[in-house]
Amino acid sequence: MKDKLAQSERRFAELIWRLEPIGSGELVKLCSREMGWKKSTTYTVLKNLCEKGIFQNQNAVVTSLLKKDEFYARQGRRFVEDAFGGSLPKFLAAFIGGRKLSDTQAAVLKKLIDEHKES
Protein backbone atom coordinates (compact mmCIF):
# COMPACT_ATOMS: atom_id res chain seq x y z
CA MET A 1 0.00 0.00 0.00
CA LYS A 2 1.31 3.42 -0.94
CA ASP A 3 0.81 5.72 2.03
CA LYS A 4 1.05 9.12 0.40
CA LEU A 5 -2.08 10.73 -0.97
CA ALA A 6 -2.55 14.03 -2.74
CA GLN A 7 -4.79 16.51 -0.92
CA SER A 8 -7.68 15.82 -3.31
CA GLU A 9 -7.27 12.06 -2.82
CA ARG A 10 -7.26 12.49 0.95
CA ARG A 11 -10.42 14.61 0.81
CA PHE A 12 -12.06 11.99 -1.38
CA ALA A 13 -10.95 9.17 0.93
CA GLU A 14 -12.37 11.02 3.95
CA LEU A 15 -15.69 11.27 2.14
CA ILE A 16 -15.76 7.53 1.47
CA TRP A 17 -14.72 6.62 5.03
CA ARG A 18 -17.47 8.84 6.39
CA LEU A 19 -20.23 7.40 4.19
CA GLU A 20 -19.24 3.82 3.37
CA PRO A 21 -20.66 1.63 2.08
CA ILE A 22 -21.67 4.00 -0.70
CA GLY A 23 -22.87 3.29 -4.21
CA SER A 24 -20.47 4.48 -6.87
CA GLY A 25 -23.27 6.41 -8.61
CA GLU A 26 -24.10 8.22 -5.39
CA LEU A 27 -20.38 8.92 -4.90
CA VAL A 28 -20.23 10.52 -8.37
CA LYS A 29 -23.17 12.82 -7.51
CA LEU A 30 -21.64 13.72 -4.15
CA CYS A 31 -18.24 14.52 -5.67
CA SER A 32 -19.90 16.67 -8.31
CA ARG A 33 -21.77 18.61 -5.63
CA GLU A 34 -19.04 18.85 -2.97
CA MET A 35 -15.83 18.86 -5.01
CA GLY A 36 -16.93 20.08 -8.44
CA TRP A 37 -15.66 16.86 -10.06
CA LYS A 38 -16.87 15.28 -13.27
CA LYS A 39 -17.88 11.63 -13.32
CA SER A 40 -14.62 10.68 -15.05
CA THR A 41 -12.54 12.41 -12.36
CA THR A 42 -14.36 10.59 -9.58
CA TYR A 43 -13.85 7.21 -11.24
CA THR A 44 -10.19 7.94 -12.02
CA VAL A 45 -9.42 8.90 -8.41
CA LEU A 46 -11.42 5.93 -7.11
CA LYS A 47 -9.51 3.59 -9.43
CA ASN A 48 -6.19 5.01 -8.19
CA LEU A 49 -7.17 4.53 -4.55
CA CYS A 50 -8.37 1.00 -5.28
CA GLU A 51 -5.02 0.25 -6.92
CA LYS A 52 -3.29 1.57 -3.79
CA GLY A 53 -5.23 -1.00 -1.77
CA ILE A 54 -7.27 1.49 0.23
CA PHE A 55 -10.74 0.96 -1.28
CA GLN A 56 -12.63 -1.49 -3.41
CA ASN A 57 -15.51 -1.00 -5.82
CA GLN A 58 -17.46 -4.22 -6.11
CA ASN A 59 -20.90 -4.43 -7.69
CA ALA A 60 -20.98 -0.60 -7.80
CA VAL A 61 -20.55 -0.37 -4.01
CA VAL A 62 -17.46 1.33 -2.61
CA THR A 63 -16.02 0.14 0.70
CA SER A 64 -12.67 0.44 2.40
CA LEU A 65 -10.04 -2.26 2.48
CA LEU A 66 -8.09 -0.10 4.90
CA LYS A 67 -9.97 1.70 7.66
CA LYS A 68 -9.21 5.36 8.29
CA ASP A 69 -7.40 4.75 11.60
CA GLU A 70 -5.23 2.04 10.08
CA PHE A 71 -4.35 4.21 7.09
CA TYR A 72 -3.27 7.14 9.27
CA ALA A 73 -1.38 4.83 11.64
CA ARG A 74 0.61 3.54 8.66
CA GLN A 75 1.27 7.09 7.53
CA GLY A 76 2.50 7.96 11.00
CA ARG A 77 4.84 4.97 11.12
CA ARG A 78 6.19 5.84 7.67
CA PHE A 79 6.81 9.43 8.80
CA VAL A 80 8.73 8.27 11.89
CA GLU A 81 10.77 5.91 9.69
CA ASP A 82 11.57 8.56 7.11
CA ALA A 83 12.13 11.57 9.37
CA PHE A 84 13.59 9.98 12.51
CA GLY A 85 15.16 6.77 11.29
CA GLY A 86 12.40 4.79 12.98
CA SER A 87 13.28 6.16 16.42
CA LEU A 88 10.12 6.73 18.42
CA PRO A 89 12.04 8.47 21.26
CA LYS A 90 13.54 10.95 18.74
CA PHE A 91 10.10 11.58 17.28
CA LEU A 92 8.55 12.17 20.71
CA ALA A 93 11.36 14.51 21.74
CA ALA A 94 10.87 16.54 18.54
CA PHE A 95 7.08 16.48 18.89
CA ILE A 96 7.12 17.64 22.50
CA GLY A 97 9.73 20.25 21.58
CA GLY A 98 10.44 21.62 25.05
CA ARG A 99 6.78 21.83 26.07
CA LYS A 100 5.68 20.38 29.37
CA LEU A 101 3.31 17.43 29.52
CA SER A 102 0.38 17.49 31.90
CA ASP A 103 0.18 14.72 34.49
CA THR A 104 -2.68 13.19 32.49
CA GLN A 105 -0.70 13.24 29.22
CA ALA A 106 2.33 11.70 30.91
CA ALA A 107 0.19 8.98 32.49
CA VAL A 108 -1.42 8.13 29.15
CA LEU A 109 2.00 7.90 27.45
CA LYS A 110 3.38 5.72 30.25
CA LYS A 111 0.36 3.42 29.95
CA LEU A 112 0.81 3.14 26.17
CA ILE A 113 4.50 2.35 26.60
CA ASP A 114 3.77 -0.32 29.20
CA GLU A 115 1.09 -1.91 27.00
CA HIS A 116 3.40 -2.10 23.98
CA LYS A 117 6.69 -2.90 25.69
CA GLU A 118 8.49 -6.05 24.61
CA SER A 119 8.62 -8.61 27.36
Tell me: the pLDDT tens digits for 33-63?
999 999 999 999 999 999 999 999 999 999 9
Distance from the first to the final alpha carbon of the chain: 30
Q: Please enumerate, as own/partner, the contacts of 2-5 that have beta carbons within 8 Å and a separation of 24 or more.
A: 2/52, 2/53, 3/71, 3/74, 3/75, 3/78, 4/75, 5/49, 5/52
Where are the alpha helices (H) located in 20-102, listed in sequence order? 24-35, 39-51, 68-84, 88-96
Cα separation, 81 vs 26, whole angstroms: 38
Residues 13-34 have a mean pLDDT of 97
**What is the average pLDDT across 14-23?**
97
CB 15 within 8 A of CB 31: yes
